[in-house]
Amino acid sequence: MTQGARSSTIRRKVASAAAPAPIGAMTLERAWRLALVHGLSGAAGLAVTLDSLSGRDVEPIDMGALMDTGDLAILLEGPNGFGVALFDVQMMAGLLEAQTMGRILARPAQPRTPTPTDGAMIANPLDRVLTLFETHGQGVAGADLCFGLRYATMLTDGRTVMLALPDEPHLLSEFILVLGAGERRGRLRLILPRALPPKADTTDTGPEWNAQLEHNLMGATATLQAVLIRLQLPIEVITRLSKGDLVPVPATALGHVALSTCTGTVIAQGRLGQKSGMKAILLDGMPEPPPAALPLPEAGE
């Protein structure tokens, strides 16, 4: 081999070694890693690194025991069914600290009961992660089961987790994440559907089915709340409240009680009274029902 040929061969080998390795095919793990890293950073300012990812099947009877003390449980809803996201104490605290203080505290967070405010602050980062997973998971086998899942509501305990999901095996994915510069680790678990739901029957249900549906709906329980008054107090006053303290309520509030649904919609006004020795609300009136739709005229009329 001549000197020129040998030099050319060496240059080709060096160039080949310096060239970047080809990017591998997208996998579920890589799709979740990208979604978590970019989603939590963009929506909450929380820098995370995926330390480990594991998955296994979980039976409905075992779902209630998955929720530990201090965990924040979020119900996810999508076109393929329901799922649940479980944030452990450190994961929830890290997201809240990043959004409120712009940094992660060095000391670990102490377990506490999550509040609706915690759930509301988690909603946007969680939805951002799920949205990015759809982008990165296109074409990946099994990823489409999670497409369309979004924050629905906060769950209060392990029993509600079990009752919120269909009575069938689910996939439990567990993510261990390094938070911030590595001071703490958090755990996020996702309980996800294992298979696509069967397609709905689009055939005519008939009058008997409609009557049965109406009967079931009209027999359902609706929870109403009687709101005497809503107060706005300084935070320093609220934090000093203790058992036995008196909260001032004007006498006029007794005549302006609002009857509201669980979503806060006021459906009636009334006055506080009593009946048979029990507190009661005398309604001043109910809103008029919407007018019934008029039938369409027959052809030729």
Q: Is residue 13 part of a domain?
A: no
Determine contact, residues 102/111, Cβ cutoff 8 Å: no
Q: In what order do the strands lie in the sheet with 150-155?
A: 48-58, 170-179, 184-193, 81-87, 72-78, 150-155
Burial class, 214, CB count within 10 angstroms (exposed 0-12 / middle 13-18 / buried 19+): exposed
In this prediction, residue 83 carries a pLDDT of: 92
Task: Spell 23-38 as b/e; 16+ CB within 10 A means b.
Answer: eeeeebbbbbbbbbbb
Residues 172 and 275 in one domain: no
Q: Is residue 268 part of a domain?
A: yes
CATH of the domain at 166: 3.40.1550.10
Which token pair is 269? 């006004």
Determine contact, residues 123/203, Cβ cutoff 8 Å: no
Residues 267 and 153 in one domain: no
Residues 53 and 177 in one domain: yes
Please give the C-alpha separations between residue 281 and each of 254, 258, 274, in angstroms, as whole numbers: 10, 9, 7
Alpha-helical runs (H) found in the chain: 3-18, 28-44, 60-63, 89-100, 116-136, 158-164, 206-218, 235-239
Q: What are phi and psi of 194, to 5 degrees?
A: -90, -25
Residues 274 and 167 in one domain: no
Residues 147 and 278 in one domain: no
Residues 149 and 70 in one domain: yes
Q: Is residue 104 part of a domain?
A: yes
Judged by DSSP in three states, 88 sits in: coil
Q: Is residue 9 part of a domain?
A: no
Residues 49 and 152 in one domain: yes
In this prediction, residue 24 carries a pLDDT of: 63
> What type of residue is 280?
A
In this prediction, residue 22 carries a pLDDT of: 41
Per residue of the chain (301 residues), give pLDDT as tens.
455 544 444 444 434 433 443 456 888 889 999 999 999 999 999 999 999 999 999 988 898 899 999 999 999 998 878 999 999 999 999 999 999 999 888 889 999 999 999 999 999 999 999 999 999 999 988 888 889 999 999 998 888 888 888 888 899 999 999 998 887 899 999 998 877 655 555 555 667 878 888 877 787 777 788 888 888 878 888 888 888 888 888 888 778 888 887 667 888 888 888 888 788 888 886 766 555 545 545 555 4
Domain extent, residue 274, equals: 224-229+253-284
What's the number of CA atoms in the CB half-sphere (13 Å) around residue 82? 16
In this prediction, residue 34 carries a pLDDT of: 93
Residues 58 and 139 in one domain: yes
Residues 92 and 170 in one domain: yes
Q: Is residue 210 part of a domain?
A: no
Bridge partners of 226?
259
In this prediction, residue 84 carries a pLDDT of: 94
Nearest to 193 by CA among 166, 175, 155, 154: 166
Q: Is residue 275 part of a domain?
A: yes
Q: Is residue 184 part of a domain?
A: yes
Matching residue, tokens 């008196």: 246
> What type of residue is 48?
V
Measured at the alpha carbon of residue 261, what is the angle toward residues 216 and 242, in degrees to the nearest 5? 130
Per-residue pLDDT of 75-126, as tens digits, reads 999 887 899 999 999 999 999 999 999 988 888 999 999 999 999 999 999 9
Determine contact, residues 152/75, Cβ cutoff 8 Å: yes
Judged by DSSP in three states, 245 sits in: coil
In this prediction, residue 28 carries a pLDDT of: 85
Burial class, 124, CB count within 10 angstroms (exposed 0-12 / middle 13-18 / buried 19+): middle
Q: Is residue 15 part of a domain?
A: no
Residues 176 and 276 in one domain: no
Report the domain count for the chain. Answer: 2
Residues 143 and 268 in one domain: no
Task: Enumerate residues 6+ apart whose C-beta is below 8 A from 170.
Answer: 57, 58, 60, 63, 83, 191, 192, 193, 194
Nearest to 77 by CA among 166, 153, 171: 153
Residues 187 and 262 in one domain: no
